[in-house]
Structure 1
Amino acid sequence: MVSSRNLTRTLIGAFLGTLCALSGAAQEAQEAQGNWLVRARAVRIDTANKSDPIPSLAVPADAITVNDKTIPEVDITYFFTPNIAAELVLTVPQKQTVTVQQSALGGPVDIGTFKHLPPTLMVQYHFRPTATVRPYVGAGLNYTRISSVRLAVPTVGRLDLDSNSFGLAVGGGVDIALAKNVFLNFDVKKVQIRSDVSHLGQTLSTVKIDPWLFGVGVGYRF
């Protein structure tokens, strides 16, 4: 007859053995797929365009807008485990047009352009890392570098923007296996990008671009 102590030891041993087997299987699956996933995507930038009013120029709230556009993007993802990964999103500096929809000068009036470079780093959780359809969610930080600011308003003069913007980023998407290491990807992100509009060192308005990013592309895992 098996004693309760021996039965407990047997159950604990079986439990630990199962954990080791599952861990080994997960590690083998991870090694078989590879730890790196590189994607190329086309991303549609859909800006929120929230801004403070400028009463002295008869500019109402939310009248300062940045154009929507589609940009190329490359992202590099590294899997620490089958489920946990870090994603770095990269692109080249993008030129944007700023428009004042209503002011003392009438409207809409294009007041110039600027360039921004918005790399984003996110930590992701992948729900079904070995399935054909692999959904994921993530959160992280965005840093946007603003440069080549060429903004001016007649009768007012040149306007400036902050050079740096830091904000949160959240999102999710899905990878769909097309072949052993090739995936179709759909991705959505919401990113905080904000800047003060100033004239001669005085802040006139804070603009919240805060875009939605809708991406579609292909990926290769190795």
Structure 2
Amino acid sequence: MKYLKLTLICALFCSATAAFAQEKNELDIRVRAVAVIPQESASIGVIGGGVNISNSVIPEVDFTYFFAKNFSAELILGTTKHKVNTKGSNLTAIGGSSSADVNLGSVWLLPPTLTLQYHVPAGKVFKPYLGAGANYTIFYSADKGNTVQGIKYKDKFAFAAQAGADFDISKKVFLNIDVKKLFLNTKATVDASNLTPAGSPALAPVLQNINADVKIRPWLIGIGIGRRF
């Protein structure tokens, strides 16, 4: 009897999976509004302190291709701009405060992300999924702001994790909610040699190369609409 029940449960599960599976070779295209929320921290040389990176809301498009039933690959494309400043930095060596915020301008991020997804066969309308993959973030158009001489960011790979769900409106059109976490770190180099005090020229080489290890680690929370092809 126990084995019969187990067989029936397995049969029902397999039947449901076949009924609700999203099909091989299906292509889904989604357009989303995405909130990019950094969970930032930093280790900053010379002046110390932490970092503050602004939140952003951006449009984003993604392409999801099913290479097997319930298994897909998703590529997301979007770009985001963030304001950056240090907080609580020690500027006493150049005649400033012992706990100052330094404006580091803004920077654009281009973070194409590729994830592999498993779509849980939960029902005909509600279709949740989990994903994991890789992100490569390109930092571009860095604006140094009005305080320092310059700033550079290093492009980096990062691990990405994902959870979301599609809600069918019709056979072809659906709503989507998606949450991603990018475990993104970068290295930044700040040139603040323009702040060298006239009486301390020896500080110029030090201020010219202020290095920082920055953890950005943003949440990407999106909602949008998609279509199946």
TM-score, normalised on structure 2? Answer: 0.75
CA 1:177–1:205 in 2, change beyond 3 Å: closer, same or farther?
same
CA 1:216–1:121 in 2, change beyond 3 Å: closer, same or farther?
same
Q: How does 1:1-222 map to 2 (within 5 A)?
A: 26=18, 35-54=26-45, 56-57=46-47, 59-60=48-49, 63-91=50-78, 93-103=79-89, 104=91, 105-106=96-97, 107-128=100-121, 131-151=124-144, 154=147, 157-162=149-154, 164-199=155-190, 202=209, 204-222=211-229
- Distance in 1 (CA, whole Å) between partners of 2:150 and 2:20 is 60
Instruction: Flag structure 2 segments of 5+ consecutive residues without an equivalent.
Output: 1-10, 192-207
- Distance in 2 (CA, whole Å) between partners of 1:185 and 1:44 is 14
Compute the displacement of 1:26 (Å): 4.5
- Distance in 1 (CA, whole Å) between partners of 2:124 and 2:19 is 15
The equivalent residue for 1:10 is: none
Note if contact 2:20-2:123 (Cα within 8 Å) is conserved in structure 1. Answer: no
How many residues matched? Answer: 193
Note if contact 2:22-2:70 (Cα within 8 Å) is conserved in structure 1. Answer: no
Identity of aligned residues (%): 36
Compute the displacement of 1:193 (Å): 2.1
Q: Which amino acid aligns with 2:211?
A: L
CA displacement, residues 142-188 of structure 1 (integer Å, 9 cap, x when unaligned): 0111111222674x6322211x1101000110101111111111111
CA displacement, residues 109-163 of structure 1 (integer Å, 9 cap, x when unaligned): 4221111111000000001176210010000000111111222674x6322211x
Q: Which amino acid aligns with 1:97?
A: K
Segments of 4+ moved more than 3 angstroms: 25-31, 105-109, 199-203
Compute the displacement of 1:100 (Å): 1.5
Note if contact 1:122-1:139 (Cα within 8 Å) is conserved in structure 2. Answer: yes
Q: RMSD in angstroms over aligned alpha carbons?
A: 2.7
Q: Which amino acid aligns with 2:175?
A: L
CA 1:34–1:130 in 2, change beyond 3 Å: closer, same or farther?
farther
Compute the displacement of 1:30 (Å): 5.1
